[in-house]
Amino acid sequence: MKFTVTKQALLDGLQRIQNIVSNRVTLPVLSNVLLETTETGIQLTATDMEASVRTETPATVERAGSTTIPARRLLSIIRELPAEEIQIETDTRNITSIKSGPSFFKVYGLSKDEYPAFPSLEEKRGFSMKQSELREGLRKTSYAISLDETRYVLNGILFSFRDGRLTLVATDGRRLALCDAELGEIKYPAGHERDFIVPTKAIAELQRLLVDDKEVRLHVGDNLVAFDLGTTVLATKLVDGTYPNYRQVIPGEAKERVTIEREILHHSVRRVSLLSSDKSGSVRLNFTKNNLDITSNTPEVGEAKESLAVAYKGRDLSIAFNPEFLIDPLKNLPDDTIALELIDEMSPGVIKINSAQRFLYVLMPMRVSV
Amino acid sequence: METSSREHGFSGGTPQAPHSTPSREQVVSENFSLLWNKLSEVIRQRVSGDSFERWFSRVSVLAVTPESVTLGVPNPIHQFFIESNYSNLLNSAVEEVCGGPLNLIFDCSGDSHSELKTEKEPTEEFVAPTQVPAARSMNTGTSIPTGMNPSYTFDSFIVGANNQFAHAASQAVAHAPARTYNPLFIYGGPGLGKTHLLQAIGHQILATKKNAKVVYLRSEQFTNEFIDAIQNNALVAFRKRYRQADILMIDDIQFFAGKGATQEEFFHTFGALHDGHKQIVLSSDRPPSEIANLEQRLVSRFEWGMTAEIQPPDMETRIAILQGKASRMHIEIEHWVMEFLADKIRSDIRRLEGALMRVAAYKSLSGQPLNLEALEHLLRDVLQEQARRAVTIDQIQKKVAEHFDIRLADMTSKRRQASIAFPRQIAMYLSREMTPSTLIEIGDAFGGKDHGTVIHACKLVKKRMEEDPKARHLVRLLDQQLQR
Residue of higher predicted confidence among A186 and A291? A291
The whole-number pLDDT of residue A276 equals: 83
Interface test with B, best of A147, A153, A162, A285 (most B CBs within 10 A): A153
Residue A348's CB is within 10 A of a number of other CB atoms, namely: 27
Instruction: Give the nearest chain B residue to A252 (CA atoms).
Output: B50
CA A205, A207, A211, A216 torsion-angle sign: positive
The region, left, alpha or beta by phi > 0 then psi within -120 to 50, assigned to residue B410 is: alpha
Residue of higher predicted confidence among A277 and A144? A144
Per-residue confidence at A69, pLDDT binned at 50, 70, 90? very high
The whole-number pLDDT of residue B45 equals: 83
ipTM summary value? 0.79
Mean pLDDT over A218-227 rounds to 88
Quick check: A243 and B51 CB within 8 A? Answer: no
For chain A, percent of residues with pLDDT exceeding 70: 96
Residue of higher predicted confidence among A86 and B351? A86
The whole-number pLDDT of residue B110 equals: 53
Quick check: A346 and B48 CB within 8 A? Answer: yes
A contacts of B211 (beta carbons < 8 Å): 150
Residue of higher predicted confidence among A331 and B22? A331
Q: Does the pLDDT at position A68 exceed 90?
A: yes
The whole-number pLDDT of residue B473 equals: 82
Instruction: Give the nearest chain A residue to B52 (CA atoms).
Output: A347
Interface test with A, best of B42, B46, B77, B116 (most A CBs within 10 A): B77
pLDDT digits (tens, 9 = 90+) for B405-446: 888 888 888 888 888 888 898 898 888 888 878 888 888 888
B contacts of A174 (beta carbons < 8 Å): 1, 81, 84-85
Mean pLDDT of chain A: 89
Interface test with B, best of A195, A248, A322, A350 (most B CBs within 10 A): A248
Quick check: A242 and B81 CB within 8 A? Answer: no
B48 and A CB contact within 8 Å? yes
Min distance A197 CA to chain B CA atoms (Å):
12
Burial label, B419 (beta-carbon count in 10 A; 0-12, 13-18, 19+): exposed
Interface test with A, best of B52, B58, B80 (most A CBs within 10 A): B80
B254 to A301, B291, B292: CA distances (angstroms) = 53, 6, 8
Estimate to the nearest angstrom the gap between the alpha carbon of A268 and the chain centroid. Answer: 27
To the question of pTM greater than 0.80 for the whole model, the response is no
Longest dimension (CA), chain B: 98
Which A residues 281-320 touch B at CB under 8 Å? 281
The whole-number pLDDT of residue B386 equals: 64
What values do phi and psi take at B325, rounded to 5? -65, -45
Give alpha helix (H) positions in B17-131.
Answer: 22-29, 32-46, 49-51, 76-98
Name, in order, each residue with C-beta under 8 angstroms of B365's C-beta and a sequence gap of 6 or more.
none
Interface test with B, best of A239, A242, A280 (most B CBs within 10 A): A242
- What does the alpha-carbon distance between residue B464 and residue A38 come to, in Å, rounded to a whole number? 83
A251 and B CB contact within 8 Å? yes
Q: Which member of B48, B80, B92 has the closest CB to residue A173?
A: B80
Least confident of A15-29, A141-155, A181-195: A181-195
- What does the alpha-carbon distance between residue B200 and residue B48 come to, in Å, rounded to a whole number? 49
B246 and A CB contact within 8 Å? no
Least confident of A36-45, A312-321, B239-248: B239-248
A254 and B CB contact within 8 Å? no
B contacts of A345 (beta carbons < 8 Å): 48
Mean pLDDT over A313-332 rounds to 92
Quick check: A252 and B117 CB within 8 A? Answer: no
Across the 484 residues of chain B, what is the mean pLDDT of every consecutive 10-residue run?
37 40 46 82 82 84 81 85 84 82 78 37 32 32 62 85 88 84 88 88 84 86 87 80 86 88 89 87 88 86 87 85 82 82 80 84 76 79 67 86 86 84 89 83 86 88 84 82 73
- What does the alpha-carbon distance between residue A269 and residue A12 come to, in Å, rounded to a whole number? 39
A contacts of B92 (beta carbons < 8 Å): 370
pLDDT digits (tens, 9 = 90+) for B79-129: 888 888 888 888 888 888 877 788 888 887 654 333 333 333 333 333 333
What values do phi and psi take at A195, rounded to 5? -120, 135
The whole-number pLDDT of residue B138 equals: 32
Residue of higher predicted confidence among A105 and B138? A105
Min distance A15 CA to chain B CA atoms (Å):
25
Min distance A281 CA to chain B CA atoms (Å):
8
A contacts of B115 (beta carbons < 8 Å): 242-245
A contacts of B47 (beta carbons < 8 Å): 346
Residue B183: asked if its preceding bond is cis (omega within 30°), the reply is yes
Quick check: B116 and A242 CB within 8 A? Answer: yes
